[in-house]
């Protein structure tokens, strides 16, 4: 029987690698497999197979058909060359120190709400926090904690509920997702992986505590409804339409078919497939009317719409948005997402998919085809002044029943040498005949504290003035669009 070790995060832990080495000397280890994205901070898509028998590893290599992309190999090569041996060892040591910091503070949060961090001293990578008391009702059980964190741009933690039964290839698993039958606790598992920062850990703990508070608030609402006698609600007159509607009962859920919990705007994320969606932090978003946008901007977009489209029939939405860069991503690429608008009113969250057209212009702090001519050939990359389709979708994965959002294509490369990047993004949905126009301001970590939400509420006029002046400064680009000298009228 072969001994194959799933060494998912183990490469970044000297303790785990030492155990594997000891196992190979006193016993048998045929090979061990580690993910490149988890250990080397590269995009999802690659793994390293290693072992102590060179011929065995070569035999594995020869069975591979060799038709996959070269990108994972190049990503690893460039990353290792750029950081060097000393740079990687420093990151490994920083991760070890950060693990202690995360465990201490996670324990403090758990203790505050009657939960605790599970004792897993043999695991130097992952931690688990019990969530036994965080069940709202049968529908919103322990898995709901993971989905709430995901909606708050925390995509790493995995919820493991109690008593889940699942059949795989005819074999029934009890307590699916945990490591044994009938584990006594529901918990969320999270990894302290290489590349994490102290500020990132603090932000995660803040969002986790906020999520727990919201769940406790919902629990109190339900307790209040259950203890009070039922009341008969009179029908209320809808003054706007003259229709009669029944007043909703306290604690009544909003139907999923009518609401998807994402802001109705263009979002900034980094997508790697499956559950690998990392989101930026939306610091501030302010809707604006057409009157606040220079006329040349509207005319420029109108001239670039696909031929045959009636400009007057479109529904336009305009806003200015301040966002952070994507947390946890070491690449300079981002994906634009428009799920909040294009999937609003969907009857089901399952297998949703659309291909809206994206367009961006009036840019600063962004790498374009002028800097890298090869970007024009990649259909996943947005090119300035050209409409390109994007795959916007919702899907589910095996680990839980909650929806995962994805954005293949609609990719933009930020210039990380500058403190902030700006551009105007336009999403044209032909099916619903809507156009979303957002002036994006993407800040690095040094500027985030300056543009916090409370400060921006006091500076609405300043923000609009800043955005308007920036658009006026892009007259040359707007005139270029108006002349029709634009590629890709498809």
CA 262-267-273 angle, 5° bins: 90
Segment 308-353, tens digit of pLDDT? 666 667 788 888 888 888 865 656 788 888 877 777 767 666 677 8
The rounded mean pLDDT for the chain is: 76
Residue 164's pLDDT band, with cuts at 50, 70 and 90, is confident
Question: What is the residue whose two structure tokens read 């933009």?
Answer: 412
Using alpha carbons, select from 367, 364, 372, 282 the residue that is nearest to residue 333. 367
pLDDT value of residue 76: 92
In this predicted structure, the answer to whether residue 80 has a pLDDT above a threshold of 50 is yes
Over the range 310-340, which residues count as b (16 or more CB within 10 Å of their CB) and which as e? eeeebeebbbbbbbbbbbebebbbbbbbbbb
pTM over 0.85, yes/no: no
Query: What's the burial of 149, exposed, middle or buried (CB within 10 Å: 0-12/13-18/19+)?
Result: buried
């Amino acid at each position: 029987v072969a001994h194959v070790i799933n060494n998912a995060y183990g490469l970044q832990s000297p303790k785990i690698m030492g155990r594997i080495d000891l196992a190979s000397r006193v016993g048998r280890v045929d090979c061990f497999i580690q993910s490149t994205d988890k250990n080397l901070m590269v995009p999802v898509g690659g793994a390293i197979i290693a072992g102590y028998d060179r011929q065995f590893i070569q035999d594995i290599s020869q069975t591979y058909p060799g038709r996959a992309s070269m990108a994972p190999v190049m990503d690893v090569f460039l990353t290792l060359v750029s950081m060097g041996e000393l740079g990687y060892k420093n990151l490994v040591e920083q991760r070890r120190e950060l693990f202690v910091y995360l465990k201490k503070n996670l324990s403090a949060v758990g203790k505050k709400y009657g939960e605790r961090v599970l004792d897993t001293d043999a695991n130097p990578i992952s931690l688990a926090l019990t969530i036994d008391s965080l069940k709202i009702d049968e529908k919103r059980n322990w898995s709901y904690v993971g989905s709430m964190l995901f909606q708050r741009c925390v995509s790493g933690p995995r919820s493991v509920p109690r008593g889940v039964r699942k059949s795989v290839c005819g074999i029934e698993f009890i307590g699916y997702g945990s490591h044994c039958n009938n584990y006594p606790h529901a918990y969320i598992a999270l990894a302290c992986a290489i590349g994490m920062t102290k500020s990132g850990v603090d932000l995660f703990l803040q969002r986790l505590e906020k999520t727990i508070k919201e769940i406790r608030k919902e629990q109190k609402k339900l307790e209040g409804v259950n203890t009070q006698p039922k009341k008969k609600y009179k029908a209320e007159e809808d003054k706007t339409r003259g229709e009669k509607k029944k007043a909703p009962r306290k604690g009544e859920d909003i139907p999923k078919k009518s609401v998807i919990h994402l802001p109705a705007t263009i979002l900034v994320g980094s997508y790697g497939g499956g559950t690998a969606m990392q989101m930026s932090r939306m610091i501030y978003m302010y809707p604006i009317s057409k009157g606040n946008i220079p006329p040349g901007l509207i005319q420029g977009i109108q001239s670039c719409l696909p031929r045959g489209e009636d400009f007057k029939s479109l529904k336009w939405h305009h806003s200015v948005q301040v966002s952070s860069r994507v947390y946890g991503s070491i690449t300079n690429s981002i994906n634009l997402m428009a799920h909040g608008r294009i999937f609003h009113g969907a009857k089901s969250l399952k297998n949703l998919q659309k291909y809206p057209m994206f367009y961006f212009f009036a840019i600063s702090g962004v790498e374009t085809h002028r800097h890298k001519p090869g970007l024009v050939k990649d259909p996943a990359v947005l090119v300035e002044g050209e409409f390109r389709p994007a795959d916007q979708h919702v899907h589910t994965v095996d680990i839980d029943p909650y929806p995962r959002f994805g954005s293949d294509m609609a990719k933009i490369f930020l210039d990380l040498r500058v403190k902030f990047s700006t551009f105007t993004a336009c999403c044209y949905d032909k099916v619903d005949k809507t156009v979303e126009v957002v002036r994006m301001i993407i800040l690095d970590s040094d500027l985030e504290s300056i543009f916090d939400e409370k400060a921006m509420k006091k500076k609405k006029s300043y923000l609009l003035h800043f955005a308007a002046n920036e658009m006026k400064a892009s007259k040359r680009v707007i005139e270029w669009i108006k002349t029709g000298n634009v590629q890709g009228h498809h």
